[in-house]
């Protein structure tokens, strides 16, 4: 992997820790988005007067979680181009735990560009000219594993309603992490909705974290974004269980705008069962496995 042009550094704060004892999935995304914005500003693709979303529209996001980030851990995020064009830029990000000097997460972001002025087109042409002749490849640790081969279910709401055994784990208002700015919410806010829905999904599996001390951790997420609504919009979610294995289970989530029933995003996720005492992956409890099998979509 070629040397990145920008390194983002931060640490895990108390408000970022969830009920599983590690940094919540939405904050991995938020930090990665911050690293993206700093990188693109440094590359002169976003001017000081512009917001991130004025120039870049996130189309797809893939995350591979490799190790937990816990309270107080210092980390860095490096950024590399994977491909650059006038209409689309794909980047790879690597989050490293600096205490153990090892990778904790890897990201691939696909952005669509819009409203490009001539000056920006020239900047992109310069970036393309400076890229190494051999294209960058996503390293093995950042590639799909659990989600590899899973068929996409990018459906309309009328098609979703016909699916059997779907769950309704969230209905609420989505708000931006920066409420003073009246603009569209971010991918991290969409990830936050799914995080809030997880306890409802565990309840469906007749599973109690308090009784068993068994929780879950995300291994992979892929989001395909259709629309970003404004802060304060009503959103509900439909979830379908796609696969169950000995230690992992796979969901597809549809985020839907309440006012229009328009699909906002589709997210596939692989979750692994984890002993919260030992912080190790374990076999799924039999009762949970049995209950989840009852709600498999296919």
Local confidence band at 1 (pLDDT 50, 70, 90 cut-offs): very low
Among the CATH numbers 3.40.50.800, 3.10.129.10, 3.40.50.720, 3.40.50.1970, which is that of 151-298?
3.10.129.10
pTM of the shown model: 0.93
Using CA atoms, how far apart are residues 12 and 164, in angstroms rounded to an integer? 40
Q: Does the pLDDT of residue 224 top 50, yes or no? A: yes
% pLDDT > 90, the chain: 70
Q: Does the pLDDT of residue 40 top 70, yes or no? A: yes
Mean pLDDT is highest, among 146-155, 175-184, 287-296, for 146-155
What single string gives the DSSP state of each residue in 236-285? EEEEEEEEE-SSEEEEEEEEEETTT--EEEEEEEEEEEEETTTTEE-PPP
Contact assessment for residue 11 and residue 74, using Cβ atoms and an 8 Å cutoff: yes
Taking Cα atoms as reference points, which of 91, 97, 96, 106 lies closest to residue 141?
106
Tell me: the pLDDT tens digits for 196-221? 998 888 887 777 777 888 888 899 99
What is the pLDDT at residue 6?
A: 67
Paired tokens of 174: 């989505």
What is the pLDDT at residue 114?
A: 83
The values of phi and psi at residue 268, to 5°, are -105, 140
Domain layout of the chain by residue ranges: 1-143, 151-298
Q: Does the pLDDT of residue 113 top 70, yes or no? A: yes
Taking Cα atoms as reference points, which of 195, 220, 208, 225 lies closest to residue 270?
220
* Residues 74-94, mean pLDDT to the nearest whole number: 96
Question: Do 1-143 and 151-298 fold alike per CATH?
Answer: yes
* Residues 4-33, mean pLDDT to the nearest whole number: 91
What architecture is domain 1-143?
Roll (3.10)
* Residues 227-247, mean pLDDT to the nearest whole number: 95
Q: Does the pLDDT of residue 104 top 80, yes or no? A: yes
* Eight-state DSSP code of residue 23: B
Quick one: residue 195, left, alpha or beta (phi over 0 = left, psi -120 to 50 = alpha)?
alpha
Alpha helices for the chain (secondary structure H): 25-42, 52-55, 118-130, 157-160, 187-204, 209-212, 286-293
Tell me: the pLDDT tens digits for 49-71? 888 888 999 999 999 999 999 99
% pLDDT > 70, the chain: 96
Q: Does the pLDDT of residue 47 top 90, yes or no? A: no
What is the pLDDT at residue 3?
A: 58
Q: Does the pLDDT of residue 182 top 60, yes or no? A: no
3-state DSSP assignment of residue 64: strand
């Amino acid at each position: 992997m070629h040397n990145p042009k920008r390194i983002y550094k931060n640490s895990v704060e108390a408000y970022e820790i969830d009920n599983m004892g590690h940094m919540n999935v939405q904050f991995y995304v938020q930090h990665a988005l911050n690293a993206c914005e700093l990188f693109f500003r440094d590359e002169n693709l976003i001017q000081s007067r512009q917001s991130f979303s004025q120039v870049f529209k996130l189309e797809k996001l893939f995350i591979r979680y490799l190790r937990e980030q816990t309270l107080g851990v210092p980390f860095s995020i490096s950024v590399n181009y994977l491909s650059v064009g006038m209409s689309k830029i794909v980047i790879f990000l690597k989050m490293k735990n600096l205490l153990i000097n090892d990778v904790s997460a890897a990201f691939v972001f696909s952005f669509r560009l819009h409203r490009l002025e001539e000056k920006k087109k020239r900047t992109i042409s310069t970036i393309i000219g400076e890229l190494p002749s051999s294209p960058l490849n996503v390293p093995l640790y950042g590639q799909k594993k659990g989600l590899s081969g899973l068929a996409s279910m990018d459906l309309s709401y009328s098609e979703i309603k016909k699916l059997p055994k779907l769950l309704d784990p969230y209905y609420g208002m989505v708000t931006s992490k920066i409420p003073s700015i009246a603009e569209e919410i971010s991918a991290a806010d969409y990830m936050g909705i799914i995080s809030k829905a997880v306890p409802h999904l565990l309840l469906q599996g007749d599973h109690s974290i308090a009784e068993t001390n068994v929780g879950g951790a995300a291994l992979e997420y892929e989001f395909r974004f259709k629309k970003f609504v404004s802060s304060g919009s009503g959103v509900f979610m439909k979830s379908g269980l796609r696969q169950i294995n000995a230690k992992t289970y796979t969901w597809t989530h549809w985020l839907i705008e309440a006012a229009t029933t328009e699909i906002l995003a589709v997210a596939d996720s692989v979750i692994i069962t984890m002993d919260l005492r030992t912080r190790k992956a374990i076999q799924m409890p039999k009762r949970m496995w049995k209950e989840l099998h009852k709600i498999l979509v296919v």
